[in-house]
Each structure stands twice: as C-alpha cells, then as structure tokens.
Amino acid sequence: MFRVLTISREFGSGGGQVARLAAARLGWRVLDQNLIAEIAHAAHVDPELARQFDERIDSWVHRVSRRSLWHGGLEGVAALDENACFDAQTMTALAASLIREAHRLGGCVVVGRGAQCVLQKEADVFHAYIYAPWREKVRRVRERIPEPGDVAELIRSTDERRAEFVRLNYGCEWANPHLYHMMICTSLGVERAADAIVCAMGGGK
C-alpha cells in the first residue's frame, strides 16, 4: 500500500496541477511551495531567501569554501545554528529532512525537491515523472507567466537546473526511468494523468 506520492515534473508540463488533482483524489495534502515556508520557519530565515535557493545548487567556489563556514550537520528537522550560513546546500538538507518526516506521517504528495531520490528505498512511496510535448510546455508557460521573456530559454534552463540539482545532490539522472513507477505525458490532459497515477497506486480514498 502506497502512503506517499512523489511528482517530478518538466517545467511547463502541468506537473503541479497533476499533483494537486492526485492529492484531491487521494484525500492527501500537497508539499510544494508550502514546503518553502516550512523550511524558512525551521531555518529562521525569510521565505523569500529560502525561495531563492529552492531546487538550486551553490556555485563551485561557494561549495569549496563552505566547509569552513558550516557548523555541524542537520539531524532531523532542526533549526540552524545562528552562525551557520543559509545556502542551497542548507536548503536541500532541510528539504530532505522535511520530506522524510512527511513520509513518516504519510498521506502526502511531494512535488520535486529530489523527493524521488530521498525516498527511493521506501517501498510505500510511488514515484511519477510528468512530461509534455514542447509546444504544450511553451503554451502553459505563456499562460502562467504574464511576461515570460524568452520562453524557450526559460524552459530549457529550468529543466537543466532541476536535472543538475538531482545529479549533484543525489548522484541520479533526473529523467532516468528506473527512478519512477510511471512516466506520463500530459498531452492526455492533467485530469487523465492524475487519474492514471491514482489508478496505478491502487485507487483513492
């Protein structure tokens, strides 16, 4: 029996919508943007600062110099030492802790943040990857963002950043089919995609 669903998504694929629809069908809660607020609270930082480091990696120079600034590791969902720096690595560590706690409680859909890797060894977690044809991704981004600028570049750079985030932090290839129980295209429609995932998991409430 599955207790948690992770959703990995290409930018513009409608993955966030699929996550919300699946959660509604399952009667579960969603961890997506609200995860940022929880991390900010745990780290005692402004949510806007946490958002800047969401699903990102630090520069090479920062990663090399970071060791001298870091004061110990994170155990569970703990607040940071007041002298510790808040950066992308800290954000990732706190996100992983919160994802593990969410798994312990069960009944949730986790969007992105490497959850498919954090919970890869858990037998009660279903992993789905959402993708879409290029034309549909462009359309969704234009509808979602009032002035997106270079849409093609925004989609490519966001997906590249997400892939790099997973590769650097977890040593996995983001689109590797072996990480997922299901990879589904939203050209079917987000409703059908959500239904297919819930059905594959064994039903709803």
Whichever domain contains 76, its CATH number is: 3.40.50.300
CA distance 10 to 129: 8
Please state the pTM of the whole predicted model.
Answer: 0.81
The band of 52, judged by pLDDT with boundaries at 50, 70 and 90, is confident
Lowest mean pLDDT among 47-51, 100-104, 133-137, 172-176: 47-51
CA distance 194 to 179: 19
Percent of the chain with pLDDT over 70: 80
136 has a pLDDT exceeding 80: yes
Predicted confidence at residue 84, as pLDDT, reads 52
Range of the domain at 135: 4-201
CB proximity list for 50: less than 8 A, separation 6 or greater: 36, 37, 39, 40, 43, 86, 91
What's the number of domains the chain is made of? Answer: 1
